[in-house]
Amino acid sequence: MTATTITDTVDPVDAYLRAGRIIAAHETRSDMIERVTAALCAADCAFYPAGAAAFGARLRRAMDARQVVFSTPIMTNAGRHPDRALAACVVPPVDLRGDLAAVAASVHAHHQAGMGTGFRLDEVTDPVTVLRHLNTVAVEGACAGREDRPVGNMAVLSLDHPRVQEFIDCKLGADTRGEIWKFNISLLVTDAQMRAADAGPGRERDLLSAAARAVHACADPGLVFIDRLEATNPTPHLGAYVSTAPCAEVGLATGEACQFGYLNLGAFHRPDGDVVPVDLDALAETTALLVRALDDAIEASLPHYPSPVTVAIMTAKRKIGIGICGLADLLLTAGLPYGSPDAIRLTRDLVAFVNYHSKLASVTLAEARGPAPAVADGRSRYADPDFLRRFARPEIRTVTPAHWDTLADRIATTGQLRHAHTVALPPTGRSAPVIGASTGIEPLFRLTSDHTGDLHPAAAHALRQAGRTDLIGHIHLHGKLPRDHGLPAPLADLLATATDLEPAAHLAMTAAAQAGVDDAVSKTVNLPADATVEQVHDILTTAWRLGCAGVTVYRDGSRGTQPKPL
């Protein structure tokens, strides 16, 4: 009889969680679920002492069933580090023109609490020098081992800054120089500037071309179309958006933070669904459950945000971000190629559905727990019903315009909304693997599991149905189909991975999701290594024309290392 080694018995998900310091050395995924639900139930008890236990049981079942997963700060901190907030990202309220030692202390405090940070460099004369200082602080903190997770960071700069060219070029050659970067960078571009760049020669066209060259070479900068992002800011009277989360999916005012939780769409597949191939009743119920859980996460966080400015703005706005993962899994299981017209339509349907039901749940919570003061005071954009009616689209199959009209009027009349913001689409790069789901709204990067190497069940089924099990060995080794696969086009399209897709498919899926979110979408347009600068330039301009709030492009091989997503 052969002795069983520790390695033989380690669950791959537990190993992933432990390696990422999301769980302690003695913990398992099940232990993490227990302490997270216990911590959120403790906050819930302040509102529903008699119902908190039942809520916790429902949340535990949803996590066990892999319908729900939280952002890594919640999984890491809840019930384990009681002195830490559960937020994923924040714009620290610091003066970059002042004492940089104080700035460094603030950054370290937020990073050690598990929060990524965002900064706007418009007010400084030399943005690249300040950015490099911030990056050094981030690198030192990561190397010191005081952080439980590799936090992301964002630095943004307006296109009209006098030294924007240096900012655009600051990462060129970074890998060759051996530089370590813990910051993403993005340009804030107005609609007027994009129109000028589109119209012909001039400074705006030159800078956009420079950005395309830099993106082609090193994957930075991204673009944030700031007019569109600010137009969706529900509470401009409490401050304009200063920066964004590290992957640009949500705008943040000074001091503002955000709590994230994700719905695994793949877990809701229902082939005989009446409207779409999804169990919409279960998805609506789980959306409401997640709204309540994230509201509890804010309550648990309020005493522990590192800055009183954050406490004040989070008390007023109570921003939460319900995101999704498992979209690519759902599409593959349902037999819909990523980026196809049916996949685009389903994405639009489901994001709108989650948004509507998150707002509906937030209204219900407001009636029991009280509304967000920033909404209740009548000065938010929700006071105008048209702010929510922008989501009312007759082509959506899951939520009618009449549903949105009724909800918009109800909130405008009563001010009863618990959260000024409810939906965000982060990349979920470290959370989705915990439940074996595809990340965010991204296509599959591999047809095999990173944890186990197993072929995606729906891909295996499709190949068996086609009588092409001979391809399975290659996919196990390479994660994708061989070039000479010989499959009919519909099946090849279904099994296409991220770099197999045309840019138009990536952009169409981004635009479909953008139509139903509060702020923006974290989605990368993946390009093969032989993509051209001209293709990158076209993607940047097309994203703006399609109504996206931002765009990120990655050409295969252009970066040796990437900042870790949330």
Q: What is the DSSP string of 198-245?
A: HHSSSHHHHHHHHHHHHHHHHS--EEEEHHHHHHT-S-GGG----EE-
Provide the pairing of β-strand 222-225 with 550-555: antiparallel
The structure tokens listed for 85 are 């907030």
* 297 shares its domain with 399: yes
The structure tokens listed for 392 are 């009312």
The span from the CA of 348 to the CA of 351, in Å, is 6
Q: What are phi and psi of 366, to 5 degrees?
A: -60, -35
Q: What is the pLDDT of residue 328?
A: 98
The span from the CA of 381 to the CA of 351, in Å, is 21
* 352 shares its domain with 492: no
Half-sphere exposure of 406 (CA within 13 A, CB side): 8
**Residue written as token pair 């060219």:** 165
Q: What are phi and psi of 44, to 5 degrees?
A: -65, -30
* 283 shares its domain with 403: yes
The structure tokens listed for 373 are 């003061």
Q: Is residue 337 part of a domain?
A: yes
Q: What is the pLDDT of residue 4?
A: 40
Q: What is the pLDDT of residue 3?
A: 43
Q: Which residues of the chain have pLDDT under 70?
A: 1-8, 561-566
Show which of 414, 436, 464 is a domain's final residue.
414
* 363 shares its domain with 461: no
Q: CB neighbours of 273 closer than 8 A, spacing ≥ 6?
A: 279, 280
Q: Is residue 517 part of a domain?
A: no
**Residue written as token pair 């919409």:** 280
Quote the domain boundaries for residue 468.
Answer: 446-496
Q: Is residue 397 part of a domain?
A: yes
Cβ proximity of 263 and 283 under 8 Å? yes
Cβ proximity of 236 and 387 under 8 Å? no
Q: Is residue 487 part of a domain?
A: yes
Domain count, the chain: 2
Q: Is residue 24 part of a domain?
A: yes
Q: Is residue 206 part of a domain?
A: no
